[in-house]
Structure 1
Amino acid sequence: MNLFKTGLVLGLLSAVGPFTIDMYLPALPEIGRDLDASVTQVQMTLSAFFIAFGLSQLFWGPWADQVGRKLPIYVGIGIFAIGTIGCALAPSIGMLVAMRVVQGVGAAVVMVVPRAIIRDMFTGPQGTRLMAMVMLVISVSPMLAPLAGSGLLAFGGWRLLFWMLAVVAVGSIFVTSFALKETLPVERRRAINLASLRAGAKTLLSDPIFLGLTFIGGFGMASFFVFISSASFVYTEQFGLTEVQFSLAFAANAIGFFGASQLAAPISERFGVVPVIRVAVGIFAFFTTALLLVALAGGATLWTIMALLFCGNAGLGFVIPTTMVMALDEHGEIAGLASSLGGTLQMVAGGLMIAVSSPFFDGTATPMIAAIAVCGWVAMILTLIVLPKITARDRFAAAT
């Protein structure tokens, strides 16, 4: 399978999770009205999904190391389909949250396994290039999924969105069956046992570089999660956008990230990974801080928010695919566990950021912007701590 085809297939599978989030964003206010739920309760449908999505990766990764990459995808997509149908039929906000948990458990498989497949095949710049190709395919989600959701809302209401996601699940099974090859041969598979999991987890959790890179990317992703959970309410209620206008504004905010992600591999090859991460995180922290200062001064117009988030997200486009690949580079023998643990830590961080920031949401943009800025500061602090360790490690390796 050539690089382009691999990137396309893995991107389509990886897009299931983001599509599940992005397509129903325009429907959040309608869900609240239909199920008589508060904004905080509706946001719980997102944080519950993220936390389940993150925690369940601890299962999918090790299992994929034992049985190969394809079987877990089939099982996970099946669970996702059950949760999706449950969401479509949910009679209350409590049941919707519960079914979103089931959805998250199943959807997690197409986050962790594709990353392990990339590590099976490539490391370094080639791995970053393939990861960037996957993210290019995923970029269709924030650009088109909200628009698709807006269109479906006009025809059948928010429940129709989940029926469409059930169709997406069926399509994912066909893609896995006919377009994805097994990348983990039998001789490289590792049996699941508590001793090996404990040893692998101890190795990863005691590696400051793995943890640091994971959380640098994780708090970058957490800023997206905060934006996702609040933007539909801010854009439609504070700024008066229609569902279609919100979808277009949301897509515009995503273009900076996914456009920059396509440049991550060639720029990292030219200037070095560590300098690129340092500058890119600085860009993210600078523009999110600038946006917060503007908001506190009362100048956070729709266009100001969009412009400064576009610039900040462009910085993240260089950070997230690069840190994902670098975090796995030293752990090829436990790539599935490393991918799943890294994904778990990132998703839980994102879900907790939503849960922590939700009580402060007052219908305006300022609480959302403040939470995004906090993500930028944490990512910057971690960068200043972790990158010198990587430089020292590389110098030691070169000397020996």
Structure 2
Amino acid sequence: MTRSLLRHALILGLLSAIGPFAIDMYLPALPEIGRSLDADIRQVQLSLMAFFLSLGLCQLVYGPLSDLWGRKRPLYLGLSLFALGSIGCALAPDIESLIAFRFVAGLGACAGMVVPRAIVRDLHTGTEATRLMSLLMLVFSVSPVLAPLAGSAVIAWADWRWIFWAVTAAAVLAMAMMLVFMEETRPAAERTDSSVAGALSAYGQLLRDRHFLGLVLIGAFGMSSFFSYLANSSFVLIGHYGLSPTQYSFFFSINAAAFIGVAQVNARLCARLGLPGVIRLGVIGHAGTAVLLWALFTLAGVDRLDVLAALVFVSFGFLGLVIPTTSVLALEPHGRIAGTASALLGTLQMVTGAAVMAVISAFVDGSARPMVTGIGACALVAAALTWRTLAPARPAAAVVH
């Protein structure tokens, strides 16, 4: 493994993790934010959904910008917006202001979601791209481990507002690292045929590409099953099972160990089974475990924290095979418009996740049932899309003479 590959994985992983870190770090503080700002569960969840919505929609802007301007300038713009929005969150006097500034922060954070995927496509294709994307996911997976622990440490030492000062500092650090250590991967000579009209045409081309859309939506519903857990886990684990914020942080972080473990074998599995084979394997494992989780908690009446922990761990481990591999396979034919294709991929995934969270929030009752139902339903949709998009080719029938 080359030093260059590791350097790119570290920098791109850190850039990609800025937005998720801003989510995961404040999850342990959601109940305290509600008490501090006199807001109910749905209002506090709305601050999360607002971040997801802007995180998804504005990727449609940053993707073409990264094709037009190069990869680094949109990242500087996005990280600056994220820092300003996070400062606003730290100073928010009420829940409405917090929701608005979280939306602004998402407008900036989405640059770190879309542009690194385009950089991966600039640098590599095929198995090498999967290797880099898996390494990126390895760095990215540190966020669910460290961020909730950092968030619980902050609220143990100070109030929840310091969480947003911390993520502001992280954005400034990311800009400094990018300035010093990251080269431009889309030089000016490659931008000459990029334009706003070309970006609109590219979006039209991608929206007519059923294979691209199928792969994107497999990843979207896979991610949405995780978002179902992300949006509800603090209320379920702290409110229903009685964990402290620090205990919740440890509980939440163990799921990242599944992603980290899978990231070590993903590239080797892709070399052996091919990218479509790895996606099929991951989706079958994820859906099977998620449906078992749903059946136990809704049909069999199980309500045990250890069962929830074990099945979520296994299910999200399989999901670690799906997310990076669908992204690589979707972007592979679209190197010329990699930024635009990455933007549409990210937008569809984040907007799908926000919609799923909105639906589940309507059924919140304090128990784990709405959460596990969302996880299971999204996993089944991902499985159906995989069967439709990546069904193995049938051998041609023999011709009888």
User: For the Cα contact (< 8 Å) 2:221–2:379, is it kept in 1?
Assistant: yes
Amino acid in structure 2 at the alignment position of 1:80: F
2: distance between equivalents of 1:46 and 1:210?
Answer: 28
Deviates more, 1:310-319 or 1:335-344: 310-319
2: distance between equivalents of 1:263 and 1:379?
Answer: 22
Match status 1:257 vs 2:259: yes
Match status 1:335 vs 2:349: no
2: distance between equivalents of 1:261 and 1:365?
Answer: 28
The CA RMSD over aligned residues, in Å, is 1.3
User: For the Cα contact (< 8 Å) 1:8–1:134, is it kept in 2?
Assistant: yes
CA gap 1:93/1:196 in 2 versus in 1, 3 angstroms: same
Name the counterpart of 2:316. Answer: 313
Q: Deviations over 1:133-165 (max 9, x none)?
A: 111111111001100100000111100100111
User: For the Cα contact (< 8 Å) 1:65–1:191, is it kept in 2?
Assistant: no
Name the counterpart of 2:399. Answer: none
Q: Deviations over 1:195-229 (max 9, x none)?
A: 31221011111111110111111111111111111
Q: Deviations over 1:221-274 (max 9, x none)?
A: 111111111000100111110111000000112221232133111111012222
Q: How does 1:53-132 map to 2 (within 5 A)?
A: 53-132=55-134
Query: How many aligned residue pairs are there?
Result: 392
Match status 1:363 vs 2:359: no
Amino acid in structure 2 at the alignment position of 1:153: I
Which consecutive residues of structure 1, in runs of 5 or more, have no partner in the other structure? 396-400
Q: Deviations over 1:343-392 (max 9, x none)?
A: 00000000110011101011110000001101101000000000038x59
1: distance between equivalents of 2:378 and 2:232?
Answer: 15
2: distance between equivalents of 1:261 and 1:223?
Answer: 19
CA gap 1:44/1:182 in 2 versus in 1, 3 angstroms: same
Name the counterpart of 1:205. Answer: 207
1: distance between equivalents of 2:295 and 2:247?
Answer: 26
- Which residue, 10, 14, 19 being the options, matches 1:8? 10
Name the counterpart of 1:398. Answer: none
Name the counterpart of 2:137. Answer: 135
TM-score by length of 2: 0.96
Name the counterpart of 2:381. Answer: 378
Which consecutive residues of structure 2, in runs of 5 or more, have no partner in the other structure? 397-401
1: distance between equivalents of 2:88 and 2:197?
Answer: 36
Name the counterpart of 1:189. Answer: 191
Name the counterpart of 2:50. Answer: 48
Name the % identity: 48
How far did 1:112 drift?
0.6
How far did 1:12 drift?
1.0
Name the counterpart of 1:325. Answer: 328
User: For the Cα contact (< 8 Å) 1:63–1:192, is it kept in 2?
Assistant: no
User: For the Cα contact (< 8 Å) 1:283–1:315, is it kept in 2?
Assistant: yes
Q: Deviations over 1:55-85 (max 9, x none)?
A: 0000101001011111111111110010000
Q: Deviations over 1:299-338 (max 9, x none)?
A: 1311101101111111111111100100000111100000
- Which residue, 213, 216, 228 being the options, matches 1:214? 216
Deviates more, 1:187-196 or 1:320-329: 187-196
Deviates more, 1:348-357 or 1:192-201: 192-201
TM-score by length of 1: 0.96
2: distance between equivalents of 1:190 and 1:318?
Answer: 36
Name the counterpart of 2:305. Answer: 302
2: distance between equivalents of 1:191 and 1:236?
Answer: 53
How far did 1:193 drift?
3.9
1: distance between equivalents of 2:282 and 2:227?
Answer: 19
- Which residue, 36, 39, 45 being the options, matches 1:37? 39
How far did 1:169 drift?
1.2
Amino acid in structure 2 at the alignment position of 1:347: M
Amino acid in structure 1 at the alignment position of 2:330: A
User: For the Cα contact (< 8 Å) 1:288–1:373, is it kept in 2?
Assistant: yes
1: distance between equivalents of 2:247 and 2:167?
Answer: 22
